[in-house]
Amino acid sequence: MKKFIIIFLPIFFVSTILICFSSQIHALELPPAQRQEAEKYFLKAYTAFLSRDYWGSCDYLNQALDLNTYMVDYYLLKALNLQSIGQLDEAKRTLRYYMEVRPNDSSAQRLLGDLTTEKDYLNTCLFKNIDSSFQWEILQKKLKQTANTSLFKPINIQGLGKGVISNGLWALPDQIGDILWFFSPETGSVISSPVKEPASAVFMNERILLVMGRRGEVYRLSLSDNATAPQVQVEELGALSCTVSDIVWQSDSEFIVANISGRNLLFVSYPDLQIKNTWVPESTKKPFEPSALASYGPWIAIADRNNDTVFLLNKVTREIKNICISQPRDIEWGIDGSLFIVSDKGSLMQVKNCFSQNESKTSILSVDMSGCWSLLRDRDIIWGVDTRGLYLWEIWPLPDPTLSQGFFFAYEPTLQRNNDGSDYLRLKGAFSAPYYAYSNQNPFIASAVWGGQNMKPTVSLLPSIQYSQIAFIEITAEKAVPLIERIRQIWERQKETLRHIVLSEASILEPEELASLVSFCIHNGIALSFSVSDGGACMWMERAAALTGGTVAPTPELAAASQVKNKILSIEMSLPAVKGVSGYSEQSMLSLYIDLGLLQMRNWLPLWPEIVGTY
């Protein structure tokens, strides 16, 4: 009997537990899949993704997953949407879920590698002190050919001052001829305005300049909007007791003057022209002679010709760095944060690694620029202009083929039909890279693979949108609405025409927010610019603007005036006669490769023609 009880009791208890919890176990079972309804929402998500309605696509995907929790392709399409809005970490996490079920999907493996590469590249470019890897090409030209002027509109400069370029418009002061010259290479227009001994000029917005005469006179020049015959209005604001060699903006209400006679820098308020502060280096062997100024982020470079030195002054912390350069005549920052210096002897030098704790590196790029007096920057191009305005030196960067420094993303595929009844695919692509000069001089060559077959697409540039939109966003400390949500609201209203975003007071952005925004911009062909009214520009602002084709300026108007030169490509290719490929994403993934010589890019897009045809 005792033996029976010992055997029976464990069986009884186990049976009781199973009976009590069987209902709960049944409740934990996954609901039955509603496959047809889920497919409807997945197709809506796919077509929304193709039209760049990323957030709408994610909403449809979530509804599809609620109806069918076994839908593996949800994770792949969700990852592509997250990548397109700059959420790279979340995209990688989502893609790994997909790869757990389909570990042999080679397209997913390549996409994961690209996500990792993009994330690392953005973090390195935006936040780390890196040694520039750019190589530079130098070409000498005649100014009249670059200016696209005719014999009836000559540019006659007797003694050049420090010029400036903004939005394709050149302003060159002639100190000896008492004239400020304006010209636009795109339109060929040339105008001039009498100004007494103009030494240096800076743009305040697209049509207004601040100009200082050699003896301290301060002028404001306004250009009319008449494109065929613009007029210049000159207004004298006052005068300072100084001898001017150069000026730069400190903020929207302050500019800095290189004062040769006073052997110091003057920090002058605008528009009341009050000297708020001065600066001189603490100890120099010879009297301080500031010959040129250039601003980059929080740093201002100061050329001291008399002491064979270029000082780097941090406008925020007042930290000072010294670079030994023989007789620096003029200076300008490159798009990569390296400093270009032309000396009195005609040597052009590049200083890399300016901001790190390690020693900076100086290299000589040319020893044949003896006539060069002024250095100007336009996008990624550094221009050197000789003292008589006869010759130019064009200095532009070449891509490093070992680095992924360009981005290309395809969208909006549509099926078209030829006269012979065959189908071809047309889609758009956003190209973004800090190599505007290089990309203008080299053709885009494309190749593609789909359904295991090679295709040869043709590539052309789409014309710029005549009335492209600019979105102004002011970042506040409260951040009542997250930045990503504000971007979503703007994108859903203006995605067809949005080409430029201007951020104000962006210094309080978190690094992850900035990296996400930059990624969103490069995926969608949008320039990102920064308006810094208080002079507190950060290094990452300059780098983010360089990556996306934007700029950093003291006013929103000047930031918005920057010409957006990001390229939107049109890509066409014939499709194979048999267009029905496997429903699996790996087989239906369109692989696109763009070759720009030293710059290669690739992108993947799931392509189901039977669905695209209804789009």
Helices (H), 28-53: 35-50
**Which residue's entry shows tokens 């006052």?**
238
DSSP 160: B
The answer, yes or no, to whether residue 323 has pLDDT greater than 80, is yes
Q: In b/e form, how buried is each residue of 579-592, taking b as 16+ CB within 10 angstroms?
A: bebeeebbebbbbb
pLDDT at position 585 is 66
- Is the domain defined by 407-464+567-612 classed in CATH 1.20.120? no
Structure tokens at 614: 């209804």
Q: Is the dihedral of CA 42, 45, 49, 55 positive or negative?
A: negative
Nearest by Cα to 175 from 413, 456, 441, 388: 388
Every domain of the chain and the residues it spans: 35-107, 135-398, 407-464+567-612, 469-560
- Reported as a pLDDT band with limits 50, 70 and 90, residue 225 is confident
The answer, yes or no, to whether residue 182 has pLDDT greater than 60, is yes
Q: 3-class secondary structure for 404-433?
A: CCCEEEEEEEEEEECCCCCEEEEEEEEEEC
Q: How far apart are CA 608 and CA 612, in angstroms?
A: 6
The answer for 373, left when phi > 0, alpha when psi is -120 to 50, beta otherwise, is alpha
pLDDT at position 576 is 78
- Reported as a pLDDT band with limits 50, 70 and 90, residue 420 is confident
Round the average pLDDT of the chain to a whole number and report it. Answer: 87
**Of all residues in the chain, what percent carry a pLDDT higher than 90?**
54
SS3 508: helix
Strand partners, 141: 392
**Residue pLDDT, tens place only, 288-304:** 999 999 999 899 999 99
The verdict on pTM exceeding 0.85 is yes
**Residue pLDDT, tens place only, 370-389:** 889 999 999 899 999 999 98
- Residue scoring higher pLDDT (507 or 121): 121
pLDDT at position 14 is 46
- Reported as a pLDDT band with limits 50, 70 and 90, residue 444 is very high
**Residue pLDDT, tens place only, 84-123:** 999 999 999 999 999 999 998 888 999 999 999 999 989 9
pLDDT at position 480 is 63
- Domain spanning 135-398: which superfamily? TolB, C-terminal domain (2.120.10.30)
pLDDT at position 419 is 77
pLDDT at position 132 is 62
pLDDT at position 277 is 95
pLDDT at position 521 is 94
- Is the domain defined by 35-107 classed in CATH 2.40.50.140? no
Chain CA centroid to CA 160, Å: 32
pLDDT at position 610 is 80
* Cβ atoms of residues 136 and 350 within 8 Å: yes
The highest-confidence range among 123-137, 215-229, 267-281, 578-592, by mean pLDDT, is 267-281
- Residue scoring higher pLDDT (422 or 362): 362
DSSP 57-71: HHHHHHHHHHH-TT-
- Reported as a pLDDT band with limits 50, 70 and 90, residue 609 is confident
- Reported as a pLDDT band with limits 50, 70 and 90, residue 189 is confident
Mean pLDDT of 36-51: 94
Mean pLDDT of 426-443: 88
Residues 6+ apart with CB under 8 A from 559: 502, 529, 530, 531, 550, 551, 552, 553
